[in-house]
């Protein structure tokens, strides 16, 4: 059974007013357990609206969302279940920090789960460990942390709930490249360790590249769905939606336009290097 | 959703009503309020309702929007009606049972008071529906500018109002966002005893305060960077202009008041 199954999901904001706006229209999607999925799309394409339905924060105008085959809106208990089994980290999560200490803030979710104190302690320490927050920071006020540390503390707050599906909306926005890389690696390591599922909303093609499955949204619909290889080989369509290609794919595209014959579906630097070296007749891949 | 709050909401449009100078609309709204209180006959109410309907039609505001705006006031309206219905002294009983007495005067009063409240509310809603908050502030500042001579800080006042108005939607958005984030961490804002619920608001209020102070700080910095130093001698980007339409609107307003007074005199 699929972990998440969305059928005919439509969401209309401010229905019945002059500001009515259809953000998602008749969308179907299934997510299997254990996948890492990237969701890309232009600003306003409906990504945030879609993920707010995964843990029942928004009510669909039409359609259903099934978690392990159960309707997440069926009852109050089902909604609560979904909130805990699907962890959502929104954009700029550092603005949600409020407790007096970092420890207490990370413990907020597990506490709402009504777990016993030793279990809360264990989870907080483990979650902080996953995102690389040292124990020496536990007693500090979250507002005194650096920007990157705040982000980690906020993400740890959701990890501590030990969700089966972790959804992150632009988790690396506003971080420097090193911080971005580091955070991403930690998230992937967390997924490995817990054999959980990750859905990443991102603008960054190099991040999308590293997921097993890539969803492309445009105008409230999922317009492409496949492996990064499959999606990035449909360059023209991606460009027409107004999305960036990964740097390597862009270079390959420009080279092809200038008559260099490269194999299709190049989207990592490694592949590009290999292809170019192969053209030079020494395909050892050491670039 | 918090966004659905309609109080003071502006419906952008390009109708003759939208295009009127905000000063005209402010003065006419004031005149309208006075006029509603001057009404002394059913014919007068008819005239005011007709005028309101005409403005609503011209401004393409859906009557439904006006009615929805009245929802929060439903309690006051019912209260007014009940109070007038049962507690109007008089002998012309329509209905009498034990201590419950309803008089014809009471029914008369109840209907006219409810009408009055509804007319006042929908009239002012029409102003905010068709005039952007910034235009209203601009208009108010200009109308009140003679008070500057009396050292009333009119400019600072209107700047404060401007900023507050600008920040309300941002705050609502922010509240929505933080609410989502905390709900995602299992926050329960709906159930529990009163003290529990009050405590459940902390995860909402603290981030909201922190971000409000941050925003205020950033705004102050941005204003200083642009050498802002108060209202003295500042010119405006948007100049207000009265046009012939404004004259026509004033004329119609005067006609309305005259009509009401005439009907009152005639007792129709
Ligand atoms: N709370 C809201 N009220 C009204 N419209 C909204 C709201 N949130 C988002 N929208 C609109 O819905 C569309 C999709 O938004 P969103 O899901 O935030 O897209 P993305 O996350 O892909 O940028 C946008 O056109 C946006 O303006
Ligand atoms: Mg978004």
Give this complex's ipTM: 0.86
What is the tens place of the pLDDT at every residue in A165-194? 999 999 998 888 888 889 999 999 999 999
A17 pocket-lining for ligand 1 (C-beta < 6 Å): no
- Is B181–A93 a contact, with Cβ atoms under 8 angstroms apart? yes
* Chain A residue at shortest CA distance from B10: A18
Residue B150 lies in a domain: no
Looking at residue A269, what is its pLDDT?
A: 85
Report the candidate in B72, B91, B13, B23 with the shortest Cα–Cα distance to residue B250.
B23
Query: Which residues have a Cβ under 8 Å from the Cβ of A141 and sit 6 or more positions away?
Result: A100, A101, A102
A33 belongs to a structural domain:
no
Q: Determine if ligand 1 sits within 6 Å of the CB of residue A41.
A: yes
- Beta-bridge partners for B97: B100
Assigned domain for A232 exists: no
Residue A255 forms part of a structural domain: yes
- Phi and psi for B61 in degrees, rounded to 5? -85, 135
pLDDT, averaged across chain B: 85
3-state secondary structure at position A147:
helix
Nearest CA in chain A to B182: A96
User: B48 in a domain, yes or no?
Assistant: yes
Any atom of ligand 1 within 6 Å of the Cβ of A215: no
A165 Cα to the center of ligand 1, angstroms: 23
Same domain (yes/no): B57, B174: no
Going B183 to B189 to B192 to B198, the CA torsion angle's sign is positive
What distance in Å separates residue B182's CA from the closest CA in chain A? 7
In a domain, A149, yes or no: no
List the end-to-end C-alpha distance of chain B, in Å, as a whole number.
46
Whether A122 is in the pocket of ligand 1, judged by its Cβ within 6 Å, is no
Q: How far is the CA of A23 from the centre of ligand 1 (A)?
A: 6
* B264 lies in some domain: yes
Q: Is residue A260 part of a domain?
A: yes
Mean pLDDT (whole number) for B60-66: 84
Of A211, A212, A236, residue with least CA distance to A223: A236
User: What does DSSP say about strands A165-169 and A197-201: parallel, antiparallel, or unpaired?
Assistant: parallel
Q: What is the mean pLDDT of residues B13-27?
A: 90
Same structural domain, B18 and B42? yes
Q: Tell whether B49 and B79 lie within a shared domain.
A: yes
User: Does residue B147 lie in a domain region?
Assistant: no
* B92 and B198 co-located in one domain: no
With a cut of 80, say whether residue B224 has pLDDT above it: yes
State pLDDT tens for residues B229-252: 777 777 777 778 888 889 999 999
Whether pLDDT at B93 is above 80: no
Characterize A199-235 residue by residue with b for buried, 16 or more Cβ atoms within 10 angstroms of its Cβ, and e for exposed: bbbbbbbbbbbebebbbbbbebebbbbeebeebbbbb
Q: Do residue B52 and residue B173 come from a single domain?
A: no
What is the tens place of the pLDDT at every residue in A190-210?
Answer: 999 999 999 999 888 888 888
Searching chain A, which residue's CA lies closest to the CA of residue B180? A57
Determine which helix (DSSP H) or strand (DSSP E) holds A47, and give its type and residue range.
helix A47-54
Q: How far is A252 from chain B (nearest CA, A)?
A: 40
Q: B218 with B97, same domain? A: no
Is A21 part of any domain?
A: no
What pLDDT, on a 0 to 100 scale, did the predictor assign at position A284? Answer: 52
- For residues B114 and B206, membership in a common domain is answered with no
Looking at the fold, whether B19 and B104 belong to one and the same domain comes out as yes
Atom of ligand 1 nearest to the CA of A45: 22
Domain co-membership, B227 together with B263: no
Q: What distance in angstroms lies between residue A49's CA and the mean position of ligand 1's atoms?
A: 6
For residue A87, the CA-to-ligand 2 centroid distance in Å is: 16
B7 touches chain A (CB under 8 A): no
Contact B156, B231 (CB under 8 A): yes
Parent domain of B112: 1-131+242-268
Classify residue A240: in a domain, yes or no: no
The answer to whether residue B83 is domain-embedded is yes
Residue A152 alpha carbon to ligand 2 centre in Å: 19
Report how far residue B254's alpha carbon sits from residue B247's, in angstroms, rounded to the nearest whole number: 11
CA dihedral A250→A251→A253→A258, nearest 10 degrees, is 150
CA–CA dist A96, A99 (Å, integer): 9
> What pLDDT, on a 0 to 100 scale, did the predictor assign at position B1?
44
What pLDDT sits at residue B156? 84
Domain count, chain B: 2
Cβ contacts of B184 on chain A, cutoff 8 Å: 55, 57, 83, 87-90, 158
Ligand 2 mean position, distance from CA A43 (Å): 6
Residue A228 has pLDDT above 80, yes or no: yes
Task: Tell me which of A249-253, B9-13, B118-122, B206-210 is least confident.
Answer: B9-13
Q: What is the pLDDT of residue A287?
A: 46
**Which A positions 54-113 lie with beta carbon below 8 A of chain B?**
55, 57, 80, 83-84, 87-90, 93, 95-98, 108-109, 112-113
Q: Which of A39-43, A266-270, B156-160 has the highest mean pLDDT?
A: A39-43
Pick the residue of B184, B203, B207 with the most A CBs within 10 A to test the interface with A by mutation.
B184
| Residue of minimum CA distance from atom 4 in ligand 1 | A13
Quote the CA–CA distance of A86 and A163 in Å, as a whole number.
5
- In chain B, what percentage of residues exceed pLDDT 90? 23
Helix/strand/coil (H/E/C) assignment for every residue in chain B:
CHHHCCCCCCCCCCCHHHHCCHHHHHHHHHHHHHHHHHCCCHHHHHHHHHHHHHHHHHCCCCHHHHHHHHHHHHHHHHHHHHHHHHHCCCCCEEEEECCEEEEHHHHHHHHHHHHHHHHHHHHHHHHHHHCCHHHHHHHHHHHHHHHHHHCCCHHHHHHHHHHHHHHHHHHHHHHHHHHHHHHHCCCCCCCCCHHHHHHHHHHHHHHHHHHHHHHHHHHHHHHHHCCCCCCCCCCCCCCCCCCHHHHHHHHHHHHHHHHHHHHHHHCC
Q: How confident is the model at residue B6 (pLDDT cuts 50, 70, 90)?
A: very low
Of ligand 1's atoms, which has the minimum distance to the CA of residue A169? 21
Ligand 1 atom 6, closest CA: A13
Ligand nearest to the CA of A173: 2
User: What average pLDDT does the segment B14-31 reach?
Assistant: 91
pLDDT, position A252? 87
A112/B186 Cβ within 8 A: yes
Chain B residue numbers with beta carbons less than 8 Å from the beta carbon of A14 are 1, 3-4
Percentage of chain B lying above the pLDDT 70 cut: 97
* Index of the ligand 1 atom closest to the CA of residue A24: 14
Residues B156 and B232: their CA atoms lie apart, in Å, by 10
Q: What pLDDT score does A186 carry?
A: 93
Tell me the pTM: 0.75
Q: Residue B32 above 90 pLDDT?
A: yes
B5 and B124 fall within a common domain? yes
Confidence class of residue B7 from pLDDT cuts 50, 70 and 90? very low
Kindly state the average pLDDT of the residues B2-31: 80
Which of B177, B188, B206 lies nearest to residue A112, judging by beta carbons?
B188
Is the Cβ pair A14, B180 closer than 8 Å?
no
Cβ distance B184 to A97 less than 8 Å, yes or no, reads no
The CA A51 to ligand 2 mean position distance, Å, reads 9
CB contact under 8 A, A90 and B181: yes
pLDDT at B128: 87
State whether the beta carbon of A51 lies less than 6 angstroms from ligand 1: no
For residue B141, tell me if it sits in a domain: no
pLDDT tens figures, A45-96? 999 999 999 999 999 999 999 999 999 999 989 999 999 999 999 998 988 8
| pLDDT, mean of residues A204-229 | 90
pLDDT tens, residue by residue, A230-285: 888 888 888 888 888 888 888 888 888 898 888 877 888 888 888 888 888 754 54
**Residue A273 lies in domain:** 246-287
- Same structural domain, B86 and B161: no
Average pLDDT for chain A: 90
Do B262 and B214 share a structural domain? no
User: pLDDT-based confidence at B4, cuts 50/70/90?
Assistant: very low
In this structure, is residue B52 part of a structural domain? yes
Report if residue B148 sits inside a domain. Answer: no
């Amino acid at each position: 059974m699929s972990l998440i199954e969305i059928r005919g999901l439509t969401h209309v904001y401010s229905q019945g007013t002059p500001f009515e706006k259809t953000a998602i229209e008749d969308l179907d999607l299934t997510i299997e357990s254990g996948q890492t999925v990237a969701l890309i799309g232009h600003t306003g394409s409906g990504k945030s609206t879609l993920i707010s339905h995964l843990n029942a924060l928004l009510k669909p105008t039409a359609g259903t969302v099934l978690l392990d085959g159960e309707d997440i809106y069926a009852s109050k208990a089902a909604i609560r279940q979904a909130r805990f089994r699907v962890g959502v980290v929104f954009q700029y999560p550092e603005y949600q920090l409020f407790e007096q200490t970092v420890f207490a803030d990370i413990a907020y979710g597990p506490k709402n789960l009504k777990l016993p104190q030793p279990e809360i302690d264990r989870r907080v320490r483990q979650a902080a460990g996953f995102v690389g927050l040292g124990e020496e920071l536990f007693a500090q006020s979250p507002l005194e942390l650096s920007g990157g540390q705040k982000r980690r503390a906020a993400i740890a707050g959701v990890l501590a709930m030990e969700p089966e599906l972790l959804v992150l909306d632009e988790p690396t926005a506003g971080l420097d490249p090193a911080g971005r890389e580091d955070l991403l690696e930690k998230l992937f390591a967390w997924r490995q360790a817990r054999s959980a599922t990750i859905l990443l909303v991102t603008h960054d093609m190099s991040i999308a590249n590293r997921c097993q499955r890539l969803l492309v949204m445009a105008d409230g619909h999922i317009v492409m769905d496949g492996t990064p290889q499959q999606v990035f080989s449909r360059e023209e369509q991606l460009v027409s939606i107004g999305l960036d290609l990964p740097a390597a794919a862009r270079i390959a595209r420009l080279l092809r336009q200038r008559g260099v014959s490269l194999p299709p579906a190049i989207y990592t630097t490694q592949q590009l290097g290999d292809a170019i070296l192969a053209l030079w007749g020494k395909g050892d891949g050491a670039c | 959703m918090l966004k659905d709050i309609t109080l003071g909401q502006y419906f952008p449009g390009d109708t003759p009503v939208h295009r009127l100078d905000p000063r005209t609309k402010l003065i006419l709204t004031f005149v309208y309020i006075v006029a509603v209180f001057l009404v002394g006959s059913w014919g007068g109410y008819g005239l005011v309702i007709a005028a309101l309907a005409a403005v609503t039609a011209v401004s393409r505001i859906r009557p439904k929007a006006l009615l929805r705006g009245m929802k929060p006031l439903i309690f006051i309206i019912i209260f007014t009606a009940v109070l007038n219905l049962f507690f109007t002294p008089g002998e012309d009983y329509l209905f009498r049972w034990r201590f419950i007495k309803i008089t014809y005067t009471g029914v008369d009063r109840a209907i006219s008071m409810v009408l009055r409240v509804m007319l006042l509310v929908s009239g002012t809603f029409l102003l905010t529906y068709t005039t952007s908050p910034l235009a209203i502030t601009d208009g108010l500042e200009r109308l009140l500018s003679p008070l500057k001579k009396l050292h009333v800080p009119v400019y600072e006042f209107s700047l404060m109002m401007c900023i507050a108005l600008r920040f309300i939607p941002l705050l609502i958005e922010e509240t929505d966002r933080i609410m989502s984030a905390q709900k995602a961490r299992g926050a329960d804002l709906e159930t529990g005893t009163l003290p529990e619920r009050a405590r459940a608001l902390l995860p909402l209020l603290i981030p909201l305060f922190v971000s409000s102070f941050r925003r205020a700080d950033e705004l102050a910095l941005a204003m200083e960077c642009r050498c802002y130093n108060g209202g003295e001698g500042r010119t405006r980007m948007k100049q207000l202009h009265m046009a012939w339409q404004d004259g026509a609107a004033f004329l119609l307003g005067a006609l309305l008041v005259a009509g009401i007074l005439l009907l009152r005199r005639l007792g129709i």
